[in-house]
Every structure is written in structure tokens, then in C-alpha cells.
Amino acid sequence: MNHLIKRRPFIDYFFITIGAFIMAMGIGVFLVDAQVVPGGVSGLSMAIHYLSNNSIPVGMMMWLLNIPLYFWGVKELGKRFGARTFYGFSANSFFIDFFRGDIPGLKLMQLQKTDTILDLQKNDFLFLILIGSVLLGVGLGIIFKFKGSTAGSDIVAAILHKRHGIKPGQAIMLIDFFVISFAGVIIQMKHLSIDRPAMSLTLYALFLLFISSKIVDIILDGFNYARVAYIISDKSREISDAIIHKLSRGATALKALGLYKKIDREVIMTVVTRKEITELVETIKEIDPDAFVIISDVHEVLGEGFRRRL
């Protein structure tokens, strides 16, 4: 047990690195040259990059802007989280400039200039942005999942999540909406957009924000891979036997009082996978067509018959 506890930080940092790698690819390869701003410090860094005629690397600017937020993170979230935050935004900044060939000695990278990316920019801009938003959301979700942060609006979202239980994806959406709008104004005033109106790019950015924030929540909460069913029936014994022997699932009888008729009765509770929910409903209806059934999504199930999430 102690061995696993000692190794856990290394596992966290490994996955934070993977998340930063994926997130940086989405920003540096797919979004910067498309001029679709993801919001937060990365969005401000991209705006400065455009204003400097692309002379200031996006990753380096992100790292400089994130330093003050890092100290805020240390104060609000503790030194342990501060170390992960510093590592997260440093790795993300490094990978962005690495992919774009902005690190001295690595000019040959420049993945944003490959034939595939240039073709997508010209012929399938929406798909380009969709890929970038998915990579951004997946990378950021992995970083959050393993207790890290890339600073920027992420650290604000992490604090809101810790204090108020607000989902990080929702918090990021609210914060970054204003940043995206501000960046759109800058692009419009400076006439930075060549092929598309600034308003179109702003709308693409809002689309990006929506997709990436939803993916962050999916990574943190997981897909709804299971269902919990509450069954109220006069044939509760037959239904519970069918659940146990036909579906090979456990069932629990909860004592309840029907307030309308003041009658004591049992409520059967069971958890099944998404694939099994149809069979469960059909089984219940075969036994008791008048049964009252409530089915809800489940994000996490710990116990026999269900795999544990990371």
C-alpha cells in the first residue's frame, strides 16, 4: 500500500504530461494559425502573438502570463497543487512552441505547416476547429483528472470547483466567453483576419469553447456507462429474482411507505450497464406491466461487476 502511495505522484505527473502534450497539439497545430482563440491565457497569448506579427511565440507568452496566476494558485490551493500547476503550464507552453518550431534548434517541426493542416485550413475549416477543440478538451480533462492545471482560467475553475463544486468545464465556459469576445474585438480593430471576418472567427471560438468544455466534464465525470433503476411493484419478489438470475445483477430491497395509500412496500434498487437497461425494462414489464420504474444515469460504480475509473 505504501509503495502505491509513493508511486502515485509519478503517475499523476506522467498523465499531466500526456494531457499537456495533447492540449498543446490542439492549440499550437490546429488553432493558432486558424486565429480561433480558445480563451484564457492561451487566448490572450495568441492575441499578443498576432499583434507582434507572429514574432512572439505563443508558448513563451503563455508561460510569462501564467507566472502571476501560479503564485495565486499556490496561495489558494496549496504548495502541492502549485507544483503541479507550474509543471502543467510549463509543459503545455513548451509543447506548443515545440510543435510550432519556435524553440531554437527545432525549427524543422512546424507541424502547423504540414500539407494536412494547410488543406484543412483551406478546405475544411470547421473540421479543423473540431479536431482542435477535441484535443484541447481531452488534454485539459486529463490534466484536471490527475490533479493538475495549466493555470490561466483553469486555475480559477479549479478554485471554484474546490470551493463551490462548480464543474470546471462550466466555469471555464463563463470565464473564457469574455476573453474570446475581447480577442475578437482586437482581431477586428487590427484587421488581423485575412480570409474570414473576425465575427466568424469569434463564433468558431465559441463553438470551440462549448465542445472543449463538454469534453472536460466527460473526462472528469466519465460517460454515463451505467444506470440505476428504482422499481416499485406489487411483484417485487419476482422482479428481484429475475434481476439476480436472468441478468446476473445484484438487487437491494429498500423499505418504503407509499404516502398516498399509507401502505408499506419495497423499492427494488439495481445498477446495470447501458446495454442491459433494455433487457431490464422488458423483464420488468413481462412480470408486472403496471410497475413504476425510475432510471437514472450513473457516472461511477465501485464494486463487483463494474470496472473502476482512473
pLDDT on residue 176 = 77
Give buried/exposed letters for 245-260 (b at 16+ CB in 10 A, else e). Answer: eebebebeeeeeeeee
pLDDT on residue 1 = 39
Q: Are residues 299 and 222 in contact, defined by beta-carbon separation less than 8 angstroms?
A: yes
pLDDT on residue 284 = 93
Q: Are residues 226 and 271 in contact, defined by beta-carbon separation less than 8 angstroms?
A: yes
pLDDT on residue 276 = 83
Return d(Cα 150, Cα 40) in angstroms, integer: 10
Put simply, whether the predicted model's pTM sits higher than 0.75 gets the answer no
Domain coordinates in residue numbering, the chain:
2-221, 226-298
Sheet architecture: strand order including 226-232: 252-258, 263-273, 226-232, 292-298
Q: Which parts of the chain have pLDDT scores under 50?
A: 1-6
- Alpha-helix residue ranges (DSSP H) falling in the chain: 2-25, 40-51, 58-77, 79-100, 115-123, 125-145, 153-164, 168-189, 198-221, 236-245, 277-287
pLDDT on residue 305 = 58
pLDDT on residue 5 = 42
CATH topology for 226-298 is Alpha-Beta Plaits (3.30.70)
pLDDT on residue 26 = 95
Closest CA to 305 of 285, 262, 276: 276
pLDDT on residue 40 = 84
pLDDT on residue 194 = 58
pLDDT on residue 154 = 67
pLDDT (tens digit per residue) in 85-117: 889 999 999 999 999 999 887 777 888 989 999
